[in-house]
């Protein structure tokens, strides 16, 4: 069982918005502004999409946005495109001893 | 172009050992913390271990402490993970990942992974 809780799947039609939640505790998500999100296609390496809750690396479309409220972080994909169909993993810093914890991953399906 | 290429995975029996390696290129390897992250079949990601730029600090997830050892050779631009006393639950793809340039508490580049299968 993963430390952070994500829905197993979300879906949306092209052009719509979808939001993926990532729920932790005050010891991880709620305690630090160090949440990151990764996109992963089947059989491929993860790709960093969001870091420090809401910052986008160079090259990541601005359709991807991150936020946090209390112990729950969220990734929103606006203007959903077929190429966004992938697994998405959240990650949070959890203190010096634990370092980081991940969620179980969410499969995004574009209908 | 940043590249991370893992090697050394394979099929082993419980209790056996393997040495994983990650060859880095396209950046100044010695300037970054590096991590190993694993993914069991059909499961989420799990951080395994990391190591400071000069190798002076290492950290491990509790489940591998005393069995796994992370190390690096900055002259060879290489990261290593010695995995001993392997268990069935260690079966996973093991990824080498660079801790972020903009935020060290994220992973900005990943290798394609090497599969470790532990089975009798």
Establish if A24 touches chain B: CB-CB under 8 angstroms.
no
| Local structure of A5: helix, strand or coil | strand
pLDDT of B37 > 80? The answer is yes
pLDDT in tens, B57-72: 999 999 999 999 999 9
pLDDT of residue A3: 85
pLDDT band at A97 (very low <50, low <70, confident <90, very high): confident
Nearest residue in chain B measured CA to CA from A93: B105
DSSP assignment letter at A26: T
pLDDT given at position B100? 86
Closest partner residue to B105 among A34, A47, A104, by Cβ? A34
Q: What is the pLDDT of residue B101?
A: 80
Interface of B with A (CB under 8 A): 37, 43-47, 50, 59, 61, 95, 100, 102-103, 105-113
Q: What are B61-104's pLDDT values in tens digits?
A: 999 999 999 999 999 999 999 999 999 999 999 999 999 887 87
Average pLDDT of chain A, as a whole number: 95
Find the CB nearest B45 among A34, A46, A47.
A46
Residues from chain B that touch A51, judged by Cβ atoms under 8 A, are: 100, 102-103, 105-106, 108
Query: Percentage of chain B surpassing pLDDT 70?
Result: 100
Please give the full DSSP string across chain B, using - where no structure is assigned.
--EEEEE--EEE-TT--EEEEEEEESS-GGGS-EEEEEE-TTS-EEEEEEE-TTSS-EEE-GGGTTTEEEEEEGGGTEEEEEE-S--GGG-EEEEEEEEPSS-TTSEEEE---EEEEE--
Residue B59, beta-bridge partner list = B50
Report whether A60 contacts A88 (CB < 8 A).
Answer: no
pLDDT-derived band at A54 (thresholds 50, 70, 90) equals very high
């Amino acid at each position: 069982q993963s430390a952070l809780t994500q829905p197993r799947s979300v879906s949306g039609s092209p052009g719509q918005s979808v939001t993926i939640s990532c729920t932790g505790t005050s010891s991880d998500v709620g305690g630090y502004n160090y949440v990151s999100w990764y996109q992963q296609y089947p059989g491929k390496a993860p790709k960093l999409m969001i870091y420090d809750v809401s910052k986008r690396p160079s090259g990541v479309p601005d359709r991807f946005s991150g936020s946090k409220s209390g112990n729950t972080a969220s990734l929103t994909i606006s203007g959903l495109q077929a190429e966004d169909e992938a697994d998405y993993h959240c990650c949070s810093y959890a203190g010096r001893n634990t370092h980081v914890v991940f969620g179980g991953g969410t499969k995004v399906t574009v209908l | 172009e940043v590249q991370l290429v893992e090697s050394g995975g394979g099929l082993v029996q419980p209790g056996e050992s393997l040495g994983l390696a990650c060859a880095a290129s396209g950046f100044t390897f010695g300037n970054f913390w590096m991590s190993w992250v694993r993914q069991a079949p059909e499961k989420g990601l799990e951080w395994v271990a990391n190591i400071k730029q000069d190798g002076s600090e290492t950290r491990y997830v509790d489940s591998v402490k005393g069995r796994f050892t992370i190390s690096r050779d900055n002259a060879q631009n290489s990261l290593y993970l010695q995995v001993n006393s392997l268990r069935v639950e260690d079966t996973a793809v093991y990824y080498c990942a660079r801790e972020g340039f903009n935020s060290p508490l994220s992973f900005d580049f990943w290798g394609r992974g090497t599969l470790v299968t532990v089975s009798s």
